[in-house]
Amino acid sequence: MSEATVRAPRLKPVEPPFTSEVAERLRRRMPSTGGIPPLALFRLLATDDALANAMESMGRFNLKHDPGRHSSIEPRDREIVIDRVCARCGCEYEWGVHVAYTATRVGLTPLQVKATQSPDAGDPAWSERDRLLVRMVDALHDRSDIDDELWMQLAAAWNETQLLQLLVLVGWYHTISYVANASRIPCEDWAARFDAS
């Protein structure tokens, strides 16, 4: 979405000064380094304690790499999935946050970041293994299913637990995209923006 098409927010995130409970929840959600203020998305979710608590659990599962307690998907694989889901959903807010903060930290190149927006799942920026993740996201986005041939290829690269986690990851970032898009959360000032080209 270009700056010319930015629309007014529909829902208001909480603003400082925060209650001690909200401040603690926001502190837990933000990275421990970087000095980034609490994201507007997290501040929006903080308006509903029960929803914020439920979403915090899923968010922690999806973002940390602690086998046995969190996702066993490698951070780079997770980021390819997240960025592709957000790009396919047209969610510039969440895509931009991830690209600005996480993409290079997990080893995505500028060409690969650009490829997350490409309509072509076979973009040459991706390895064959990466293309499987992109194709999985596209299949789920377009058809809410994965054909047998693609499933067999995915199953050769990821175990059953990881496949389940990948399916949930795609669905989770669809949810995040829906919330950010429909509530019209403005992009963070420091976040990446979709390519205009």
Q: What is the pLDDT of residues 165-182, one digit of tens each?
A: 999 999 999 999 999 999
- In angstroms, the first-to-last Cα distance of the chain is 11
| Cβ proximity of 177 and 86 under 8 Å | yes
For the chain, which domains are there? 75-183 (1.20.1290.10)
Q: What's the pLDDT band for 33 if we cut at 50, 70, 90?
A: low
Helices (H) and strands (E) in the chain, counts: 9, 0
Q: What average pLDDT does the structure give for the chain?
A: 88
Q: What's the pLDDT band for 32 if we cut at 50, 70, 90?
A: low
Q: What is the pLDDT of residues 101-120, one digit of tens each?
A: 999 999 999 999 999 999 99
CA-to-CA distance for 12 and 176, rounded, in angstroms? 16
Q: Which residue is it, tokens 């995915």?
A: 154
Q: What is the mean pLDDT of residues 137-151?
A: 98
Count of other CB atoms within 10 angstroms of residue 28: 12
Q: Rounded to the nearest 10 degrees, how much is the dihedral formed by the CA atoms of 49, 169, 98, 196?
A: -120
CA-to-CA distance for 32 and 87, rounded, in angstroms? 26
pLDDT of 66 over the 50 cut: no
